[in-house]
Amino acid sequence: MEQSIPQNHHLSGKKIIIAGAGMAGLSFAIAMYKQWPAISTAPPPTLICYERDTTQDIIGREGYSLSLRSDPPGGIQALQRLGILDTMVEASIKNAMEKDGGFCVWDKNWNEIIKLRARVPPSLPVGSLRIARKNLRSVMVKSAMAAGLEIHWGIACVSVTQAQGDGSGGLTVSLSSGTKETCDMLIAADGASSKLRAQLRPSDTLQFQHIVCMGGTAVYPPGESPPSPVDRNWGLMPLNEKHSAMFFSPVGPNTALWSLSFRSDTPVEVQKAPVSDGVAMAVLKKAQDHSPSLPALFHELVNRTDKESIMVFNARDKQAFAHNASTIGAFAPHVVFLGDANHAVTPFAGNGANMALCDGWDIAEQLLKSASLEEAVKKYDDIVVPRASKVIRQSHIAIAIGHSQGWRLYLAMLFLKIVKLTLLRYYVR
């Protein structure tokens, strides 16, 4: 006997505003549209998204790639549930897929200290993929809009107030355009520097992890790929001097990213692409002078760097928080933070995108399956807070390992090899 689908649902006819068309916000929207028909025959909630960037801004600045993985928290599984995994595979970096690409830790002669390639779980077509962030986001934007999401580009959500004082939960969201919108629920997915978090949780700021990063994208002529191993592999190269490390990864068919990171007692001024010629030259010179003993390939990548892709930033993160009266006051449970707005991570986590994808699916699933908003948000928090705490803890270990030197680096490499043995159920070798 077929199970009947209930007609009523506590979200039916409600209006939900999504602050931010990043991975977390888009994942939430796609998940809501995908799951609703199996939950209720009543009219679904109205979803409206406001994104501070224009589409041109997004394409112009996202010159790096990301790893999506099937090991916990399971970004690949989230893509499959969202119904966009096959499209994402097509948009991924083919060399990394077809030439057994994986995460590596190299010494300065490009010898692999370890290499991890994801196993393919029985229920999935791939175990992992490497994809340019702009391609990932493009696929998600198209999927969300095709499902019915209304996105307003170039408009940010800057603050939220309670629309009524009777405890009904109505919200008024102020926009950067000068207008205001009312809604029943606000999904705050506006990134690590969230304006909404700054308003509701002003003391919950990003914490500097005493690492400064600088880098850019090397561009080769059309039809020419970056040389091995950065044409297909990505990973970390501890330099064993000056408490510094390099990171390399493919970005596209003819592009590869390099990044130099080093310990610093104080944060530096952030430089976002595109930077001035003066800043670009200073960054390139510092990279070239940092370690003359680096192999020729590094200097080749630096020499081929597109100056408009250069960036300088501080590695910062923050812990996740639960949504209740003690954390966001009377706005709980009608305001929910997703992705970096809740739990920002440094690039050394290697899991920010995976968590964002899972956050979107998880909050949508709990909202649709739970009997009330309060119950749904509590279940979401029970999933997200420990997950994010574990990832941030792992990222701090990665920072310590990558920026060690001398005997500490030797012990760190030994630790990595031991840890690798515990991950065999997720990785091939």
pLDDT, average across residues 33-44: 93
Question: Which residues, at least 6 apart from 205, have a Cβ–Cβ distance to it below 8 Å?
Answer: 318
pLDDT, residue 124, reads 94
In order of start, what are the domains of the chain with their CATH numbers?
15-98+126-205+317-397 (3.50.50.60), 208-316+402-422 (3.30.9.30)
pLDDT, residue 89, reads 96
User: Higher pLDDT residue, 31 or 404?
Assistant: 31
Bridge partner residues of 213 (DSSP):
261, 313
139 pLDDT more than 80: yes
Highest mean pLDDT among 202-206, 213-217, 295-299: 202-206
User: Higher pLDDT residue, 420 or 364?
Assistant: 364
What does R_g of the chain's alpha carbons equal in angstroms? 22
Q: The tokens of 229 are what? A: 């191993």
113 pLDDT more than 50: yes
Whether 210 and 263 have beta carbons less than 8 Å apart is answered as yes
182 pLDDT more than 60: yes
Q: H/E element holding 396?
A: helix 373-402
59 pLDDT more than 60: no
Whether 123 and 69 have beta carbons less than 8 Å apart is answered as no
| pLDDT band at residue 173 using 50, 70 and 90 as cut-offs | very high
Q: How far apart are CA 84 and CA 86, in angstroms?
A: 6
CA 91-309-228 angle, to 5 degrees, is: 60
Share of the chain above pLDDT 70, in %: 93
pLDDT, residue 423, reads 62
Q: The tokens of 172 are what? A: 């008024």
Q: How far apart are CA 119 and CA 127, in angstroms?
A: 5
Whether 220 and 228 have beta carbons less than 8 Å apart is answered as no
pLDDT, residue 48, reads 98
pLDDT, average across residues 311-329: 96
140 pLDDT more than 60: yes
Q: How far apart are CA 229 and CA 114, in angstroms?
A: 14
CA 335-336-341 angle, to 5 degrees, is: 120
**Amino acid, res. 298:** F
pLDDT, average across residues 337-353: 96
pLDDT, residue 240, reads 85
Whether 18 and 30 have beta carbons less than 8 Å apart is answered as no
pLDDT, residue 60, reads 47
- Left (φ > 0), alpha (ψ -120 to 50) or beta: where does 406 sit? left
Bridge partner residues of 287 (DSSP):
none
Lowest mean pLDDT among 109-118, 247-256, 329-338, 394-403: 109-118
pLDDT, residue 56, reads 65
66 pLDDT more than 70: yes
**Amino acid, res. 97:** M
210, 288, 290, 315 from 243: Cα distances, Å: 11, 16, 11, 14
5 pLDDT more than 60: no
Whether 232 and 101 have beta carbons less than 8 Å apart is answered as yes
pTM: 0.93
Query: Is 217 in a helix, a strand, or coil?
Result: strand
β-pairing verdict for 234-238 and 207-219: unpaired
pLDDT, residue 2, reads 46
In the predicted model, what is the mean pLDDT of the chain?
90
Helix axes 133-147, 23-39, angle to 10 degrees: 30
Q: How far apart are CA 158 and CA 190, in angstroms?
A: 10
pLDDT, residue 95, reads 84
In the sheet that holds 157-162, the strands lie side by side as: 157-162, 171-175, 180-183
Q: What is the DSSP letter of 349?
A: G
Q: How far apart are CA 233 and CA 118, in angstroms?
A: 13
Q: Which tens digit of pLDDT belongs to each residue from 12-24?
A: 999 999 999 999 9
426 pLDDT more than 70: no
304 pLDDT more than 80: yes
Lowest mean pLDDT among 38-42, 289-293, 359-363: 289-293
136 pLDDT more than 90: yes
Whether 245 and 212 have beta carbons less than 8 Å apart is answered as no
pLDDT, residue 422, reads 67
pLDDT, average across residues 391-398: 94
